[in-house]
Amino acid sequence: MTIVRKFTVLAGCLALATTLSFGQVQPKQQQNPPGLTQVVALDECDPVTFNAALGPDFCKNVALAALGFATTLNDLFAQAAAGTPDPKWDFEPDVVHMQAGSVLSIVDQGGEPHTFTEVAKFGGGFIDGLNSGQAMAPECAGGFGNLAVARTRIIQGSHLDITGLKKGKHLFECCIHPWMRVKVNVK
């Protein structure tokens, strides 16, 4: 026991010394592995109200709905109609800087499906009631009946990898919740 304790103290001192010698410790979660750039899709759908309207497995969220951390389906539409869509539906980060040849990986950590659709100009999506009065971006037309849109869909708990993005600026949005937007700069 004594040896283990000493080792623990020694390890603690080493960790402290390492921290001091490097000054500031960088948070690990902000670092992407080489060649991979990650975007996270987030939402806080309320499973009870979403699934009553949209089907049993549409929203599979881990949000603590009973404690007030989820958004009901009515509130989502009401807030979008008022021009103040729920900021908890979001892609993070909002601006991405990446190298050509890197993989852009979008991970859906929310409770419901999204799309990560490239558009020439940001606009509304294919559900008019969520568009806050904006005209639909033509790339979203037809919704999931349009194969080009369906291919950009991300299901809860899955990820979509995009490769071969050309150098320059790219705009992506969710064709369901069009305030979810990302600017990608490829160098």
Q: Which residue ranges make up the site for Cu ion (CB under 5 A)?
A: 114, 174, 176-177, 180
d(CA 41, CA 88): 10
| Nearest CB to Cu ion, comparing residues 61 and 102 | 61
| Nearest CB to Cu ion, comparing residues 137 and 174 | 174
To Cu ion, the closest distance from the beta carbon of 166 in angstroms equals 25
Nearest Cα to Cα of residue 110 among 152, 58, 68, 167: 58
To Cu ion, the closest distance from the beta carbon of 26 in angstroms equals 30
| Nearest CB to Cu ion, comparing residues 102 and 123 | 123
| Nearest CB to Cu ion, comparing residues 65 and 112 | 112
d(CA 60, CA 39): 20
Nearest Cα to Cα of residue 115 among 172, 43, 60, 161: 172
What's the count of helices (H) and strands (E) in the chain, helices before strands?
4, 10
Instruction: Scan for tokens 């969520």, then name that residue.
Output: 130
To Cu ion, the closest distance from the beta carbon of 127 in angstroms equals 10
To Cu ion, the closest distance from the beta carbon of 27 in angstroms equals 27
